[in-house]
Amino acid sequence: MATAEKPFIRQDGKDKVTGLGRYTADLAMTGMLHAKFRFADHAHARIRSIDTTRARALTGVFAVITHEDVPDVRYGPFVQDRRLFAKSKVRYEGELVAAVAALTPEIAQRACELIEVDYEPLEVVNDIEAALLPGAPLLHEQWAEYGASDDVVRDGNDCSRSTIVKGDADKGMAEADIVVKERYVADMSHAVPIEPHSIVAQWQGDRVTIWSSTQVPFIARSGVATTLAISESNVRVIVPHLGGGFGGKCEFHYEAQVAALARTARRPVRLVFSRREEFVAPDHRREGQVLELETGVRNDGSIVSRRARVILDNGAYSADAPFFPQLAAMMAVGPYKVENVFVDASLAYTNHTPSGSVRAPTAPQSCWAVEQHMDSVAARLGIDPVEFRRRNVVKPGDESPTRQIFEEIGAAETLEKAVEMIGYDRDLPDDEAIGVAIGWWPSFGIASGAYIKINGDGSGTIITGAQECGTGAVMALPLLAAEILGMRPEDFQLLYQDTDAGPFDSGASGSQTTFNNGRAVMAAARDVREQLLDLAAEELEANRDDLELVDGVARVKGSPSKSVTIPDLAEKAHGDRLLLGRGADAVPAMPDCDASGCTGRLGMESFLAPTFITHAVHCKVDRETGVVRILNVAAVHESGRVLNPIGANGQVEGGVVMGIGMALLEGSLIGDDGRQVNPHLLDYKLQTASDSPPIMIGWVDAPTKDGAGGPKGSKGIGEPPCVPTPGAIANAIAKVTGARVHQLPMTPARVWEAMQS
Amino acid sequence: MSGATYTAAASVAEALGALSSGARPIAGGTDLVVGARGGKAPLPEALVAIHNLEELRGMSAEGGGVQMGALVTHAEIVASEAVRSTFTALADASAIVGSHATRHVGTIGGNVMNASPAMETGGPLICFDAMATLRSSSGERELAVAELFAAPGRTTATADELLVAVSLPAPAAGTGSCYVRLEYRRQMEIAIVGATAVVTLDGGTVSDARIAITALAPTIHRVAEAEAALIGGDSGEAAVRSAADAAAAASRPISDVRGSADYRRAMAAVITRRAIVAALSRARGEHVPIPASPALHGATNGGAA
């Protein structure tokens, strides 16, 4: 029998690798029109007037809409600071001023160009530190009037400020034997899913069906209802195969604008983004950061105090970023015993593309800075960086920056195993070195539901609200149901990615699919199991408590010949009471902590089922050019209990490659005009298959207590694998060159420049 | 994108006719189409496709030289034993153009006529004294590839001329060559800095040297001072360094998203030195893998091709 612990081939794999799979951009409907947007012509300007007359007059144009054609609604998950279309101001280059639906994309584009917008250009807020200085131009003059969650601490261009306070950091610093202070800067980077945003909308009466490349269909549905002022029950969101997301397709993007176009045009409308649009427009790219880190240590290597100032680039609108400062503040301490802490983190409005959750928001860049800083402190102490970490990494019973007591965790074990796998102590040529970094990341407990029906032929159907973004998390749900029901994973079909069918799920975000929907599917399976056992007890005239479900049959424990097959039970049920299971498991409680001294508490003060990771990376640095090659990676993760090794390993491999990209090449340069200079794939350089090194993967088994984690004591695994890679690479580079690179990405030119100084 | 009219020429004469009435030629489309999609420049109003013209295909090696039709792909160049053994720098260059897909679709003719100052094959062609054959409805002429490059994206060919062939004359015995580029990643890359070295050894003495620099000036060009530093010398470290420094001194790099002018200038010396050293090794009969760039940059995972 297949079980969750055994490898398993995903159901959507063949479609995707053979080209049979249909994505949103593949959909075509009779009479379908093509959408294009008119984007802002300035990163910061007041709009004096918008004239769409000439665009409307163009032959083949069916709809031209602006802010005047949609309800005047501000939206945003934490701070309601944006509209579907710019009204009086544009605040970044990718902001929408108008939308057109026309017979062809070319006509739609031409019509967009014919829209006349009269602007008064304003001073561009480009620097995240300057944005917070008194007198800086305000992005949102009316910020105080915006609706916002009560817990968000705001002030002008500071959209969300959080502090983490433990003990007395100043006093601790004064008592330290050695104090090290450093400053690190991370550039903006992107999720870069291969499939760009694509949406098709079609109305039937008052109801709209939207096919969207979203990671979060229920949140998209809610966004459409809010902004178009219609009932959620009149919005159905369906996701065909999704071509990757990495966070870039979280939140609510363009579904409402396309639906509004379709309503005006009275025709189905399709939007497919270009790569450039994908870079500049959606409010989900990884935030640039400035981190000032100061650490006081005793001569024995214990950490007395950490002070940090973190500023994050919010961009023009806040999307889901207001909880980032608190997360970044936790990351600025890291998974270490630190006696006294003061971290002050702010989210600065700028005229940049808005930031939003991209795979482990704030973590890779924070970890990159903190782990370089840890190596710098170790160097000052004269202690090997691994030994310094060994002395300080958190162990069961230790406390977090907010005095959360860690329970069953294996952080220290990931360090030992990674160091062993990479061969940390061996001799290397002068131009090679091994760098080590430790990261951590929380799991997210969120409500989620699923149904399971056993069909008349004994097969099962899992009906779930969960969204498959490519990770295989939804594809692995049959493993969990099959084990409980004594069936095979391949006995189940999945009905998913349709808000009219599945119960609520918060989507492919926060590494939460297996963690939450996995529990829901198990609960639904247990519900069906009870029904099957009732039926089998009647059928076998046996005591229900003596029955088990194994190998596709219900049988009496100890006398396997007394059995009935699940298809026979299903057939019987279809003449009477159907076999239908429902599952919606309770969300695990957040661990206790003491965040009484902290401000801006947005749910990140304690970490539910935290996962710990050590990456050890063997690098070669071309000291004449600054080009860094990754020779080998050891990635060791403590993710509670691993449920599906193929899926988990796949997440680590992808995360490490993404981490290498962030480390070495992936970053947006911003011009003085506030625009991205390299919004295309030739100069925003992703890693290619040819660049990818061998990746050795190790797992530390440390299941959570019952009810404190995901299925069987598992933890989230989607986001964590990219967290420590850049820091480990940075430490290897510094070992070879003797020079720290203080800006991310660590491009060849920056490595070279660091060596010159 | 635009491209209002598109015709696939059935003969070279038909293609030339289309050119004289204003159409632009398209073969692999790896520059034109990608550029249009990326918003660099719209497709020309009228396109004439030349990819079916058998006359422009194929390569031959005669008398120690190589003749290539304009439609010869980078993949074909890399696979050619004559190019690999005799014009090794050209194989180095073609082996790292774009991606696997680009190399199977992109042609030598398109690469040359696109006239990018960062294009890979330009330096080797110039250093090997390659000749371009241009044909129009009114006749045919030959000129050195070196005289074809006018400015970034511009050639000296007239609008009605079609590049039909590129030929490389036999080099002197004892010649070794290498093209090296500074690359940030293995595939889908463009030269940040590139250098070509073609050197001829006579005993221990360098009897001839050609050095060209790529992505370091508005056009790819040879550097006479660098060549002079090598010719007549012993090919020792000092001569190589002074040639490399001369190449850097002759560079006029720009600062852009791929690198600052200072960095590019510094890299000009490094990359030129590496190209010369590898070319000398090959001239001595020593093995340097094709393409040379990944090996010289410390590749350990298989290289580019």
pLDDT digits (tens, 9 = 90+) for A256-296: 999 999 999 999 999 999 999 999 999 999 999 999 999 99
Fill in the amino acid letter for A520: A
Q: What 8-state DSSP symbol labels residue A517?
A: I
Q: Is residue B1 pLDDT above 90, yes or no?
A: no
Q: Rounded to whole angstroms, what are the CA distances from B45 to A459, B6, B12, B23?
A: 58, 9, 20, 7
3-state secondary structure of A122: coil
Residue environment code for A94-118, b if the CB has 16+ CB neighbours within 10 A, otherwise e: bbbbbbbbbbebebbbbbbebbebe
Closest-CA residue to B206 (of B183, B229, B225, B185)? B229
Residues A568-581 have a mean pLDDT of: 95
- In A, minimum Cα distance to B261 occurs at A749
Per-residue model confidence (pLDDT) at position B29: 82
CA distance A493 to A572: 21
CA distance A257 to A199: 10
For residue B260, list chain A residues with Cβ-Cβ distance below 8 A.
749
Q: For residue range A341-395, list pLDDT tens digits in order.
A: 999 999 999 999 999 999 999 999 999 999 999 999 999 999 999 999 999 999 9
Q: Is residue B304 pLDDT above 70, yes or no?
A: no
Question: Do residue A625 and residue B38 have CB atoms under 8 angstroms apart?
Answer: no
Question: Do residue B297 and residue A685 have CB atoms under 8 angstroms apart?
Answer: no
Contact by Cβ (8 Å): A307, A294: yes
The whole-angstrom distance between A95's CA and the closest CA on chain B is 19
CA distance A255 to A499: 14
A624 at B interface, C-beta within 8 A: yes
Q: What is the mean pLDDT of chain B?
A: 92
Crossing angle (nearest 10°) for helices A725-737 and A363-381: 40
H helix runs in A600-686, sequence order: 645-664
Q: Which residues contact B68 (CB under 8 A, 6 or more apart)?
A: B58, B59, B77, B108, B165, B166, B167, B168
For residue B186, list chain A residues with Cβ-Cβ distance below 8 A.
688, 690-691
- Residue showing tokens 């720290």: A740
Residues A477-492 have a mean pLDDT of: 96
Spacing of C-alpha A78 from chain mean position: 17
- Among A177-181, A333-337, A545-549, A642-646, which stretch is predicted with the lowest mean pLDDT? A642-646
Closest-CA residue to A25 (of A206, A346, A227, A275)? A275
Question: Do residue B297 and residue A694 have CB atoms under 8 angstroms apart?
Answer: no
Q: What is the ipTM of this complex?
A: 0.94
Per-residue model confidence (pLDDT) at position A570: 97
Enumerate the β-bridge partners of residue B168.
B66
Q: Rounded to whole angstroms, what are the CA distances from A168 to A161, A332, A341, A616?
A: 20, 17, 7, 33
Q: Which residues contact A705 (CB under 8 A, 6 or more apart)?
A: A407, A408, A713
Residues A508-523 have a mean pLDDT of: 96
Per-residue model confidence (pLDDT) at position A6: 59
Contact by Cβ (8 Å): A464, A517: yes
E runs forming strands in B203-242: 205-214, 221-222
Q: For residue range A188-235, list pLDDT tens digits in order.
A: 999 999 999 999 999 999 999 999 999 999 999 999 999 999 999 999
Contact by Cβ (8 Å): A332, A291: yes
Of A274, A625, A688, the CB nearest to B182: A625
Closest-CA residue to A33 (of A274, A263, A281)? A263
Q: For residue range A119-143, list pLDDT tens digits in order.
A: 999 999 999 999 999 999 999 999 9
Q: Number of helices and strands (H, E) in chain A?
A: 18, 27
Residue environment code for A381-392, b if the CB has 16+ CB neighbours within 10 A, otherwise e: bebebbebbebb
**What share of chain A in percent tops pLDDT 70?**
99
CA distance A697 to A418: 9
The whole-angstrom distance between A683's CA and the closest CA on chain B is 7
Residues A553-578 have a mean pLDDT of: 94
- Model confidence at B2, pLDDT cuts 50, 70, 90, reads low
- Model confidence at B301, pLDDT cuts 50, 70, 90, reads very low
Q: In the numeric block, which tokens belong to residue A231?
A: 């009932």
Q: In the numeric block, which tokens belong to residue A714?
A: 């598992």
Per-residue model confidence (pLDDT) at position A442: 98
- Among A111-115, A213-217, A399-403, A560-564, which stretch is predicted with the lowest mean pLDDT? A560-564
The whole-angstrom distance between A749's CA and the closest CA on chain B is 6
Closest-CA residue to B142 (of B158, B163, B121, B123)? B163
Q: What is the mean pLDDT of chain A?
A: 96
H helix runs in A115-147, sequence order: 128-131
What is the helix (H) or strand (E) element at residue A730, kind and residue range? Answer: helix A725-737
Contact by Cβ (8 Å): A181, A372: no
Question: Do residue A677 and residue B257 have CB atoms under 8 angstroms apart?
Answer: yes
Residue A708 gets the label, from left (phi > 0), alpha (psi -120 to 50) or beta, of alpha
Of B184, B190, B257, the CB nearest to A748: B184
CA distance A310 to A304: 20
Question: Do residue A629 and residue B188 have CB atoms under 8 angstroms apart?
Answer: no
Q: For residue range B83-98, list pLDDT tens digits in order.
A: 999 999 999 999 999 9
Q: For residue range A23-37, list pLDDT tens digits in order.
A: 999 999 999 999 999
Q: Which residues contact A280 (CB under 8 A, 6 or more apart)?
A: A39, A92, A93, A94, A353, A675, A676, A679
Q: For residue range A425-459, list pLDDT tens digits in order.
A: 999 999 999 999 999 999 999 999 999 999 999 99
Residue A416 burial (CB < 10 Å; 0-12/13-18/19+)? middle
- Model confidence at A162, pLDDT cuts 50, 70, 90, reads very high
- Model confidence at B99, pLDDT cuts 50, 70, 90, reads very high
Enumerate the β-bridge partners of residue A45.
A90, A121
CA distance B249 to B266: 10
Q: In the numeric block, which tokens belong to residue A319?
A: 């999307």
Question: Do residue B186 and residue A275 have CB atoms under 8 angstroms apart?
Answer: no
3-state secondary structure of A304: strand
Contact by Cβ (8 Å): A704, A713: yes
CB pairs under 8 A between A and B: 78
- Model confidence at A3, pLDDT cuts 50, 70, 90, reads very low
Contact by Cβ (8 Å): B151, B132: no
Enumerate the β-bridge partners of residue A563.
A555
For residue B266, list chain A residues with Cβ-Cβ distance below 8 A.
752
Q: Which residues contact A738 (CB under 8 A, 6 or more apart)?
A: A755
Per-residue model confidence (pLDDT) at position B171: 97
A747 at B interface, C-beta within 8 A: yes
Q: For residue range A713-724, list pLDDT tens digits in order.
A: 999 999 999 999
Q: What 8-state DSSP symbol labels residue A591?
A: P
- Residue showing tokens 């006349």: A116
Taking only residues 77 to 96 of chain A, the set having a beta carbon closer than 8 angstroms to any beta carbon of chain B reads none
Mutate to test the interface with B, among A690, A750, A752 (most CBs of B within 10 A): A690
Residue A74 burial (CB count, 10 A): 18
- Model confidence at B34, pLDDT cuts 50, 70, 90, reads confident
Q: Is residue B190 pLDDT above 70, yes or no?
A: yes
Q: Is residue A310 pLDDT above 90, yes or no?
A: yes
Fill in the amino acid letter for B56: L
Question: Do residue B187 and residue A625 have CB atoms under 8 angstroms apart?
Answer: no
Contact by Cβ (8 Å): B214, B195: yes
CA distance B115 to B104: 20
Q: For residue range A643-682, list pLDDT tens digits in order.
A: 999 899 999 999 999 999 999 999 999 999 999 999 999 8
Per-residue model confidence (pLDDT) at position B302: 35
| A330, HSE (Cβ side, Cα atoms, 13 Å) | 30
- Among B32-46, B160-174, B217-231, which stretch is predicted with the lowest mean pLDDT? B32-46
